[in-house]
Amino acid sequence: MGTDLNAPLGQNRKEKPARKRDLGRVLRYSGLSLGTLAVIGLSAWSSLSPDGLTRRPATPAATEATAVANEKPPARKPDSERATGALGRSGALAGAHVEKVLTDEGATVTKYTPRSRESDGPALINVGQRGQDPRMAALPNEDLLEDGPEGRLPIIGPGGLRPMDQYARPWSGARGTRIAIVVGGLGLSQTGTQRAIRDLPPEVTLAFAAAGNSLQRWMQDARRDGHEILLQVPMEPFDFPDNDPGPHALSVSSSAKKNLAELHRSMGQITNYTGIMNYLGGRFLSDADALEPVMRDLGKRGLLFLDDGTSAQSLSGTLAGAFDVPHGFADLVLDGELSRSAILRRLDELERIARRNGTAIGVASAFEESLAAIGEWMAEAQGRGIEFVGAAALVKDPQQN
């Protein structure tokens, strides 16, 4: 018996030769010619063979499988030409080689292998939307900082990325009723700052006073807990010096150069903030000549300005619009009267404003009564369909509107 497993069954056997007279007798009685016999023989052999002389039409699945099997794998590209992806600032996949290989079965296998990074520091993931990856929220984006005499100051980064966009708290994007609550004065009291970061929901925006202590540490704690943060800059009030905002306040009588130096000194105290909020400042905000250089600088740095709404004479909205500064006004001061019942009434009023206008911003200070009332009320209001967002989500942004 032969060894060819692909040969038709019975085709490897030796048959005895027929005698010539027998073949002639068969042909004579059957009336068949030698040619006809040959055709019959070929047809029988073809039907018994697995392949036959003429193949049957292949099914689509069989055709595809054959094509994949016959296709040569793509030539492997050098490392410098492979598709790469990042876990770094330079791109979303810059820390790995990505190689796609077509298997013999037709499946595509994607292989990720690490490669050495060109710089030290944490890997950051750019998800292509406003807000920072929560796992990296306590760390600044180095592309959004510049070194100056007053410290590290925020700037607009490559591709137009603004600090306001990088450090904003993400939100749903739904156009329902939205409220932003900003609690300020953090950094001035260790107890109040700890309590605010520990007890307030992460949806609350925290404003750090530039004159506070240990601000960089507090900022990191707040960001790790999911808070968006602002920087409160002291400004001259109408009743100065009876009401003194501090030695580094921006003032109407100071030159533009001195006011910018004081502004930058405040900016250099912390990083990772979306913008500036005034601390006092009724008189300064009402003086166009004094306020204009400040607004111009904020616009160049990609920061928002939140006006606490305590001065009816403020020109911040007018000048912010002139220099493309994202800008917002607080609708209510929540703790003008420092009692739980009074604060809860103001919060209810803030909700009515939000339902009427679609959005509302409330501001408060880090007093124990304020923190307790805000936390209690927010838990109830969320059950009524209110979405709490960071301040950056509610300002009027020239790039979005």
For residue 371 the two structure tokens come to: 């923190």
242 Cα distance to chain centroid = 46
Assess whether pLDDT exceeds 70 at residue 173. Answer: yes
Kindly state the percentage of the chain with pLDDT values over 70. Answer: 67
pLDDT-wise least confident of 47-56, 151-160, 295-304, 313-322:
47-56
Q: How high is the pLDDT of residue 23?
A: 42
Count the Cβ atoms, other than its own, within 10 Å of residue 346: 21
Average pLDDT over residues 258-279: 97
69 Cα distance to chain centroid = 42
Distances (CA, A) of 55 to 44, 149, 213, 365: 15, 84, 87, 86
What domains sit in the chain, N to C, each tagged with a CATH number?
79-114 (no CATH), 137-393 (3.20.20.370)
Distances (CA, A) of 188 to 1, 205, 305: 99, 16, 21
Average pLDDT over residues 346-362: 98
Cα torsion 119, 122, 128, 129 to 10°: value is -140
Predicted confidence (pLDDT) per residue in 188-215, tens digit = 999 999 999 999 999 999 999 999 999 9
> CB within 8 A of 398, min separation 6: which ones?
321, 324, 325, 326
Q: How high is the pLDDT of residue 133?
A: 77
Q: How high is the pLDDT of residue 140?
A: 94
For residue 267 the two structure tokens come to: 């900016």
Q: Does pTM surpass 0.85?
A: no
Q: How high is the pLDDT of residue 135?
A: 83
Average pLDDT over residues 81-97: 36
**d(C-alpha 117, C-alpha 114), whole Å:** 9
Predicted confidence (pLDDT) per residue in 286-341, tens digit = 999 999 999 999 999 999 999 999 999 999 999 999 999 999 999 999 999 999 99
Q: How high is the pLDDT of residue 399?
A: 87
Average pLDDT over residues 229-251: 95
Assess whether pLDDT exceeds 90 at residue 105. Answer: no
